[in-house]
Chain A
């Protein structure tokens, strides 16, 4: 009886006494600190007669990622582990000692048929887990492209965005004096490698633009003394005049599906925008305003066109439907705004702003809101988007007629740096990813 009473008393006391609830601490992190991701990329291990391909590929990958501004490849001299191979899980402790967060280990194997098999794995060092692995087989001459494709894969799996390293840049190469400038069509890899002239230099070339397959270029040239838009086929090297327009045509741009080209036709001092269907060569006039309408660029879904016009008294940016309807102004900030280009991912429009003697590259949303200036130089103009919509290139004219350079900048405004070109260069156009 006494025991029963004692038990009841204890139970009652336990029920009445407050007890702490069991729950985990919750934390919301909203602020960060941007730092390029430290990544270790040892030279790829060679097997067989691969020459220097292993070191060359790793070197290109390191350079690609470093140039993006989002990665910080660690100097191989700092490595303490020289034994990591493609076929074994790395000793992550060795890589943590040099503060690597990413690790790419690769190999290059000579195949009996003379090709190279290139493999790589991307590791998350902090978690000790593989993020991605891939292998390629190609002829040895393609080693640089393979390196860019590996860079694209790393970039994509670390950032979520598609890469842009396996791409080319078409641009205008400028030589000669300021009084006798020679402007030639040229092309190179996005990292400045493999520069090639596409035109002889006997006639001036301006405003080159890639088609969506990166196999065709539209440009404006003064061939025969008459400024017109031409189409240039990279594979065959042949050019043709685009349309039989009576007057000067310029500022061409392909539609996202590659079937149409929008361009500007100048007639008696009035410039308007036209669209030509490349399949049947039918032409449609899109603007009729007596002001200067030019620099058209398609939205990525092909339904709208952004262009510049001075119909409101100053050069500003307008948007219209692809049939020319619903033309409306979207830029209202002070200064002149022109050369608009719609981002491949559709969220932004890049443009050139000129306020007095200051030139900027800026971006704004398609409705004109959220304008941000992401570069400032003596004469920054003519932006072009990387195919992932994350990076921009533009031309920068040097003061005093000292020529021009091509620069790139992240859409956040970070990582502004010069793009290597053979000599003076301007008017870049970024290709889509090579097919």
Chain B
């Protein structure tokens, strides 16, 4: 090979030419090679393990059918309504104050009863005969039998008619499918205690509807039962009386047998509506 060199090269090789120095860096010549190797190695690794995945089909992918539509200039699609603001959770009531002597209830002064004006007529000498108890009529017997049937058929256990839905997305206590069984259970217990207003004139029907806000203890007892209907300031005597009847039912039927593990769903009942307008 050396014989084939050109005279110029030979000349140059034989000359005392100063040796060219390798390029250097500030750190020195050894680090540059290492960094370059590392950089290329990273690129290679990324290409090997990362990039090719972009071309693989996801194992769970499927074809989504779409309709192609022409977008109009105007749209009637409205923005989704904002979610309802969270309701404040009721805090436990403060402990009741030390018992005080209850105020004396008010007494209403009545007009002195007038003396009944009675004529001086002959007073009947006959005294009312002792009443023979009339034999029970067929109607009365039927009523008694119906009452017996009611007792026999009255459900003692909560009626479960609804299946529970996914707990994670259902509201606590709201009148939804999840709590329908609780509402039924309450109805089946309280209806027996409610003296449903009957025999009133039709134009009084709306006065007889009353609503209560109830709070129950974990053992099913009434902590409070609030209603404007039983306020002394209620100007409708029909609504007031209907409220008294409903409150009697609420207290008379306690304690309520409800699933304790779902106490957070039946702790507060609002509203509990007593509505006698529907025919039985």
Contacts and interface: CB of A to CB of B under 8 A. Distances in A.
Nearest to A19: B86
Contact of A33 (B104, B194, B265): B194
Interface string A138-156: 1101100110010000001
Given A35-B195, A196-B118, A416-B137, A26 B271 contact: yes
A422 B127 contact: yes
A138 B112 contact: yes
A145 B87 contact: no
Contacts of B245: 158
B94 interface: no
Interface stretch (B3-11, B48-56, B173-181): B173-181
Nearest to B122: A197
B172 A421 contact: no
A25 interface: yes
A325 interface: no
Nearest to B118: A196
A142 B119 contact: no
Interface stretch (A50-58, A128-136, A202-210, A301-309): A128-136
Contacts of A30: 275-278
Contact of B273 (A20, A28, A186, A420): A28
Contacts of B66: none
B275 A29 contact: yes
A121 B105 CA distance: 9
Given A32-B276, A124-B244, A160-B242, A27 B183 contact: yes
A24 B199 contact: no
B175 A25 contact: yes
Nearest to B89: A22
Contacts of A186: 124
Interface string B21-64: 00000000000000000000000000000000000000000000
A198 interface: yes
Contacts, number: 240
Interface string A11-54: 00000001011111111111111110100000000000000000
Given A32-B276, A186-B124, A23 B173 contact: yes
Contacts of A421: 128
A144 B277 CA distance: 37
Interface in B76-95: 84, 86-89
Contacts of A376: 137, 139
Interface residues of A, number: 81
Chain B interface extent, by class: 35 or more
A347 B203 CA distance: 8
Interface in A385-429: 389-390, 410-414, 416, 418, 420-423
A368 B148 CA distance: 34
A159 B238 CA distance: 7
Contacts of A146: 113
Nearest to B109: A135
Interface stretch (A234-242, A265-273, A285-293, A316-324): A234-242
A29 B191 contact: yes
A192 B137 contact: no
Contacts of A84: none
A38 to B, nearest CB: 10
Question: Which 3 residue pairs across A and B have the least CB separation, nearest first?
Answer: A32-B196, A160-B241, A126-B251
Given A27-B273, A195-B128, 13 more contacts: A20-B172, A21-B84, A29-B273, A31-B187, A89-B102, A121-B107, A136-B112, A139-B115, A160-B240, A196-B122, A345-B201, A422-B127, A435-B114
13 contacts: A25-B175, A26-B174, A26-B270, A101-B248, A101-B252, A127-B230, A136-B112, A142-B115, A149-B110, A195-B123, A235-B117, A421-B128, A422-B127
